[in-house]
Amino acid sequence: MTTPDPVHPAWLPPEAFRAIGSRRTLVLGDGLLAGTVHDEVADACARYGGRVRRGAEDGPYDLVLALTTEPLPGVAGEVRPDSAIGAEGYLLARRDGVTVVLADDPAGLLYGLFHVVRLGERAFAGELQAERHRPAMRRRMLDHWDNVDVHPVMGQVERGYAGGSIFWRDGAPRGDLARVRAYGRLLAACGVNAISVNNVNVRATGARLLTDRLGDVAALADVLRPYGIRVHLSVSFASPVVLGGLPTADPLDEGVRKWWAGVTERVYDTIPDFGGYVVKADSEGEPGPFAYGRDHADGANLLAEALEPFGGVVHWRAFVYNHRQDWRDRSTDRARAAYDHFAPLDGRFRDNVILQVKHGPVDFQVREPVSPVIAAMPATRLAVELQVTQEYTGQQRHVCYLPPMWREVLGFRPWGPDGTAVADVAGGASGDGGGLVAVSNVGDDPYWTGHPLAQANLYAFGRLAWAPWTDPAAILDEWIDLTFTPTATGDTEALRHTLHAIMDGSWRTYERYTAPLGVGFMVRPGHHYGPDVDGYEYTPWGTYHFADRDGVGVDRTRATGTGFTGQYPPPWSEVYESLDRCPDELLLFFHHVPYGHVLHSGATVVQHIYDTHFAGVEEAIEARRRWEEAAALFDPSLHARVEELLDEQVRCAEEWRDQINAYFFRKSGVPDVRGRRIP
């Protein structure tokens, strides 16, 4: 055991519980999570002088949190609904000076409690007509790309920008279960209910978590359970060979099926509420069913069959593409790959398979269209995967508030304005869709996320998974109120203004000073930080922009390109195909155009590149100025950390601007119409 670093409370500082902690609360209901609700309130009361009772006793009470299965006293009985509230949901009402939270299950009570926390004093004022709240997604999950062993290149956390893992260190459990518990509590407060605890690139000790190291997983499950969080595990498809000593991992082999059944039974003996397996197969070198001439349905169904008796699920990732391409071959298109592999398999997956699809067709770039796979598999449960860790969006050195992008993805309607939205596909028609999954941005950094403002992305992911139609700016307000209340100076309005000014538009700012018009991947190979326009251009990874002296962009049309536009249903198959109708911000994702091509905005492509890169840097400088000016509003060490990071953001934005502008100026020979200096 090691002594934990002092850890920032993120969106659950003690003050967030002040309103509850000074009141009289009744908690009615049994079960582990009802116990958590009681204990949370009791801790707050110990601090702020209120009191809490569990089990019916005479009032009066200011707050009643009760299961509908209990005999409900007074106002709680009056607001009891005649129909089910539903799994994890709650009803919130206030009448005659009593605030009531009712739920059908203890998880609903816990989420209801955190709703009251968000409201603070507002929860105890006036009257409130009964409101029902239910999660839009049944599964709201974070994947940790945490290695158990330190990887020589990727380190302890693959694409982790917040220090080491909170779970693992150097091949062993980190041993700081208090930190894991605090994490679970933060996740419950924003609505997350599942995590996978190891990298999808499963190596050495990571693979053994399934067998002889299962106890390490059980220890995590034990501390996360009181917060309603189920633990999942990334497993290697080759496990029967590498762990079981079998000669094959062929999904149709009887011995292999038995092996998975046996191992899975042992997992459930140890962790009865285990969530299931996450699998990256036949992707970037990971083993999979292709080695045996089988397909992804065979592979996923093998594991699903083993998990089925216990109610577990397999998250099978659709991130499958050829990473050994030749840039001269223009017919192979990485964007097409997931659809080409998976769409033909629709209908073949067992019910407890969740196909986990990255939100864009390539790889978490700052701007991509929505993946066509999401609209192509009506008979398959789909989860949409987002990336909270900022691999391609500033690596938690840049401010980049991602919810505006996620909200666009979730609100996108693949079948046109009258059709279903992505959020509804993930939520599922009967509420049992695959849900929303994201790669976590957390590490053992004292602020959890490296950049303190990156905490907001984690918070907002959970809130959007619960309620995908929420306005990102409103989520930011929630996060600000919880995290920074009270402020160092008491000037909440000024603090709120500052953070909105810096964060609301930060994703678009980042887009402006990095890769233009949806073309993506102009990052330095390997670590993916900072600009290198041709860094990946001639590599096998298949992420090309095809810039030459005449133009730039990838022709993905059916008419003359890779045909990728044909993977969308109408109207998007037509909109993206058409040079005229394709939205500006995705133009270079779908079309190769001359530098003089005129955008809807009226600017030429090359002038747009210059303008946005100059503007993006100005915006980063302005963000830094706003932050400097607001020093008095924030805790000094948090302020200093962000200030340092903003210096780096401005430096890096200038580097992007100069490299991108110089590259396109030199390639095209077209000068900036405003005559600004381009190196």
Q: Which is nearer to ligand GCW, 284 or 351 (CB)?
A: 284
Q: Is 284 assigned a catalytic role?
A: yes
Closest approach, Cβ 361 to ligand GCW, in A, equals 13
| Cα(32)–Cα(459) distance, integer angstroms | 24
The minimum distance between CB 200 and ligand GCW, in angstroms, equals 5
Compare residues 385 and 577 and give the one whose CB is closer to ligand GCW.
Answer: 385
Q: Which amino acid is at 585?
A: E
Helix (H) or strand (E) holding 140: strand 140-143
Minimum CB separation of residue 391 from ligand GCW in Å reads 6
DSSP result, 232-277: EEE--TTHHHHTT--S---TT-HHHHHHHHHHHHHHHHH-TT--EE
Strand order in the sheet with 63-67: 51-54, 24-28, 63-67, 98-103, 90-95, 128-133
Identify the DSSP state of 523.
B
Nearer residue to ligand GCW within complex by CB, 201 or 509:
201
**Inter-residue contact 249 to 298 (CB < 8 Å):** no
96 is catalytic: no
The C-alpha atoms of residue 499 and residue 630 are separated, in whole angstroms, by 10
Angle at 397 between CA 395 and CA 399, to 5 degrees: 95
CB of 159 to ligand GCW, least distance (A): 5
Distance of CA 23 to CAs 42, 124, 380, 435, 478, Å? 11, 9, 48, 36, 22
User: Which of 363, 357, 364 shows the shortest CA–CA distance to 341?
Assistant: 357
Q: How far is the CB of 457 from ligand GCW (least distance, A)?
A: 16
| Residue position matching structure tokens 């929303």 | 436
Between 310 and 541, whose beta carbon lies closer to ligand GCW?
541
Site residues for ligand GCW per CB under 6 A: 145, 158-159, 200-201, 280, 319, 363-364, 391
Q: Half-sphere exposure (CA, 13 Å, Cβ side) for 508?
A: 10
Catalytic pick among 212, 265, 284, 548: 284
Q: Whole-number minimum distance, CB 576 to ligand GCW, in Å?
A: 23
Give Rg (Cα) of the chain.
26
In the complex, minimum distance from the CB of residue 156 to ligand GCW, in angstroms, rounded to a whole number: 13
Q: Decide whether 140 or 359 has the Cβ nearer to ligand GCW.
A: 359
User: Are the CB atoms for 81 and 132 separated by under 8 Å?
Assistant: yes
Beta strands in 286-427 (DSSP E): 313-317, 353-358, 381-387
Of 363, 368, 577, 585, the active-site residue reads 363
Q: Which two tokens stand for residue 648?
A: 């780096």
| CA–CA distance, 527 with 153 (Å, rounded to integer) | 9
CA distance 459 to 446: 16
Q: How far is the CB of 39 from ligand GCW (least distance, A)?
A: 36
State which amino acid sits at residue 519. V
Secondary structure of the chain: what % helix, strand, coil (to 5)?
A: 40, 15, 45
- Looking at the Cβ atoms of 145 and 447, the one nearer to ligand GCW is 145
When the beta carbons of 397 and 608 are compared against ligand GCW, the nearer one is 397
SS3 322: coil
CB closer to ligand GCW, 195 vs 256:
195
Count Cα neighbours of 372 within 13 Å in the Cβ-side half-sphere: 23
Minimum CB–partner distance for residue 158 and ligand GCW (Å): 5
Helix spans in 373-432 (H): 403-411, 422-427
By beta-carbon proximity to ligand GCW, the closer residue of 198 and 506 is 198
**What residues are labeled active site?**
284, 363, 391
